[in-house]
Structure 1
Amino acid sequence: MRILDRYQCGPLAPMAGWQPDRTVILAVRALLTDILEGFAEDILPGECDLPDGIGAVVTCDRPGGVMRPVVYVRADQPTGLRADLWGFCTALAVLACEGRFSLPAGECLFIGNERSPVRRVGAALLGALILQWLGRKPGDCDFPIYTWAGQAGTPRAAA
């Protein structure tokens, strides 16, 4: 049994029915910027030199001492993958800002774009439930998390 099967109805059912991926992406971004007072941006092709296999960047900002979630997602990926990345990254950024996930001040997490099924409680489940509540049937919403390996220029798996 997949863990998401437990959450198909009830308060986590889609609040406005099933929606297209683009609508859900806009809703997740609005959640980040309007409700959580964070920052959400697309990474346009040529705008940032991310290695292949990296789909998003997550960090926290501390304006005025208040932690705020910051998420950047590559715009040159398929819409379904982008939607799942937005959900996962939003959840991960919120957990990091709340201190539930270790993220040293000023550091970024790099999120791979290889999806896997949600198998446990954490950012993947929270991200999938956010997507479901906003109207997307979440698929595989767990992604690898990397930190940057100093000057070597290659990502390494986060602990």
Structure 2
Amino acid sequence: MLPLLETLPPGADAFDFFPGHWTVRHRRLDRRLAGCQDWTEFPGRTVVERILGGLGNIDDNTLDIPGRPYRAATVRKFDTASGLWSIWWYDARYPGLEPPVHGRFENGVGTFLGDDVFEGRPIKVRFIWSGITAKTARWEQAFSEDGGESWETNWIMDFERTA
């Protein structure tokens, strides 16, 4: 059994801004990796709680996409050995967790990278956290088909704290 940490290691506090209740403005690219320029905007809500004594957090999301609302969750865990955060997405419409992305915050911006498959082809996935204040934050997701040489941003979430 691992001991409880009295103080968190450097980097473990990167998501300390996030616990609480948020409204979310979603912008989602209508078709990914298809040269599409059309976006759908819709509201949502997110509730975030710390877990693992501060070495992780979990959020519960309500996505009010027109005609197809759904729920999803994110689990984040800090690795004290590597100093990296791992992030997993779980979409209630599908079985299983998405493959994780891994990364850290530098100069107020969090960059997280991972490998996945989209429509049968391998891709790189990038999450970027930025614009973090006591009341706001922004998350962006991008895909790359060329090993990270170029990126297509396909989802943006602007968070505003409600509690």
Larger relative contact order, structure 1 or 2 (CA cutoff 8 Å, min sep 6): 1
Q: Which structure: greater helix fraction?
A: 1
> Could you state the TM-score of these two structures normalised by the residue count of structure 2?
0.30
TM-score computed with the length of structure 1 as normaliser: 0.31
Whose strand fraction is larger, Structure 1's or Structure 2's? 2
The structure number with the bigger radius of gyration is 2
